[in-house]
Amino acid sequence: MREKNVTRRNFLTTSAKVAGGLTILGAAGSVRGEPVSNGKIRWGIIGVGNRARAHIAALNELDFCEVTALCDIREAALQRGLKLVKGTRPKTFKRYEEMLEEHDLDAVCIVTPNHLHKQMTIDSLEANKHVLCEKPMGITMADCDEVVAVAKKADRVLQYGMQLRHTPTYVRVNELVQGGAIGNIRYAWISDFRRDIRQLYEDPLVDRTQNWRYFQHTSGGMLLEYSIHRLDLLNWWMNSRPVRVSASGGHNVWRDRETIDHCGMLIEYANGAKATYGMTLYSRGYRTPWLLMGDDGQMLVERSGRVVIQKGDVSNSLGGPKFPDSEEVIELPKGENGTKLQYVHFMKAVNDEAQPLPDWRIAYDAMWVGIQGETAIREEKVIKL
């Protein structure tokens, strides 16, 4: 029988520690009278590939976390992971189901290809582990519904690896928008103009495994794999739920894959605001500012790390007053790493001091936009909620 190590309710807080510039409460609690190992969350990582490096680096820096287990189907990945983890010698597993049987494991971080997220999340919650799962929730909305059904019943934290919600730069932009810097938001324009990172492998089997993100059935498509971070920023800043999506996209340059290499999307929100999102995977060095427009002015989010707020009557016409009436430049915070801060927040959620961020509701809405964008492109139609 599996031991319930740490529940949200009785993961009691006793000591204050400082992590990432934030004061957080350390854990030293028990479940049904049993002490928690060293007052730390004991993590198991499933999938020790590229992204797991960032997770391990973050966990190495947080004294309320330790990595006690690593799981990967590839021995080489496990060996690399063992070298990265500091302070502990994790147990290694090839099958995650065996790792979930471990008693000295409180939480699981899922960093595998996207099509595996759903089942691994469900199995981990059902094994009474807290879960931090990389985005996206799954690769279909049906996947998400299955996860939600289990998450609603589980007395465990389920948080998603959409770390921009914790990155101080984006948090500050959100504060400015929600604080009314440009009034009610009406329109946004943001982009992901990036380069391709695909590496080619001669062996088709190796290519399929390593390049899982370029196959629709393993990644769910580029709007889930890449765009979901930006789509979530839009949902967040627009402060409303997405209700209508139209999109066009396909293959302009990279014809060696199933997934698209560009798209343009138009998203409408329940509050009437609209957003345009552009994505290409064959651009380098094009870092045009993002634009947010509201009733009282507009905001340029410059990728160099500052925001320009231009206030004035956006409806002025020929002969009206010059726009803007005023211009303010705000430097955005730099340096702090959202991947690490998401663990600080996770600890608060385990201690029942905060809701997981992002929780499945937020992750679900971001999924919805990505999935509908993929469908709109494939089926050449407009999707409404």
Under the rule (CB under 6 A), what is the footprint of ligand NAD?
A: 46-52, 71-74, 77, 96, 111-114, 116, 134-135, 161, 163, 225
CA dihedral over 180, 345, 269, 308, signed as positive or negative = positive
Smallest distance from the beta carbon of 74 to ligand NAD, in angstroms? 4
Nearer to ligand NAD, 60 or 240 (CB): 60
Nearer to ligand NAD, 110 or 349 (CB): 110
Q: Where are the beta strands (DSSP E) in the chain?
A: 13-19, 22-27, 30-31, 34-35, 41-46, 65-71, 91-93, 107-110, 130-134, 158-161, 185-193, 242-250, 262-269, 274-280, 290-294, 297-302, 306-311, 326-331, 383-384
Smallest distance from the beta carbon of 199 to ligand NAD, in angstroms? 11
Which residue type, as a one-letter code, is found at position 318? Answer: L
Smallest distance from the beta carbon of 15 to ligand NAD, in angstroms? 30
Which residue type, as a one-letter code, is found at position 121? Answer: T
Smallest distance from the beta carbon of 369 to ligand NAD, in angstroms? 16
Q: By Cβ distance, which residue is nearest to ligand NAD?
A: 49
3-state helix, strand, coil in the chain (%, to 5): 35, 25, 40
Smallest distance from the beta carbon of 152 to ligand NAD, in angstroms? 23
Q: Please give the structure tokens belonging to residue 179.
A: 């604080």
Smallest distance from the beta carbon of 263 to ligand NAD, in angstroms? 18
CA distances from 269 to 163, 165, 179, 330, 360 (A): 23, 19, 19, 27, 19
Nearer to ligand NAD, 182 or 367 (CB): 367
CA distances from 343 to 133, 140, 280 (A): 12, 26, 31
Q: Please give the structure tokens belonging to residue 356.
A: 């997981």
Smallest distance from the beta carbon of 275 to ligand NAD, in angstroms? 21
8 Å CB contact between 43 and 66: yes
Q: Please give the structure tokens belonging to residue 239.
A: 């402060």
8 Å CB contact between 136 and 367: yes
Distance CA 91, CA 78 (A): 10
Nearer to ligand NAD, 161 or 242 (CB): 161
Distance CA 103, CA 371 (A): 37
Helices (H), 70-140: 75-84, 96-100, 117-126
Nearer to ligand NAD, 111 or 185 (CB): 111
| Residue with tokens 């921009």, as numbered in its chain | 164
Nearer to ligand NAD, 208 or 381 (CB): 208
Smallest distance from the beta carbon of 227 to ligand NAD, in angstroms? 11
Nearer to ligand NAD, 163 or 259 (CB): 163
Nearer to ligand NAD, 74 or 361 (CB): 74
8 Å CB contact between 25 and 347: yes
Nearer to ligand NAD, 102 or 225 (CB): 225
Smallest distance from the beta carbon of 35 to ligand NAD, in angstroms? 30
What interhelical angle do 338-350 and 50-61 show, nearest 10?
A: 60
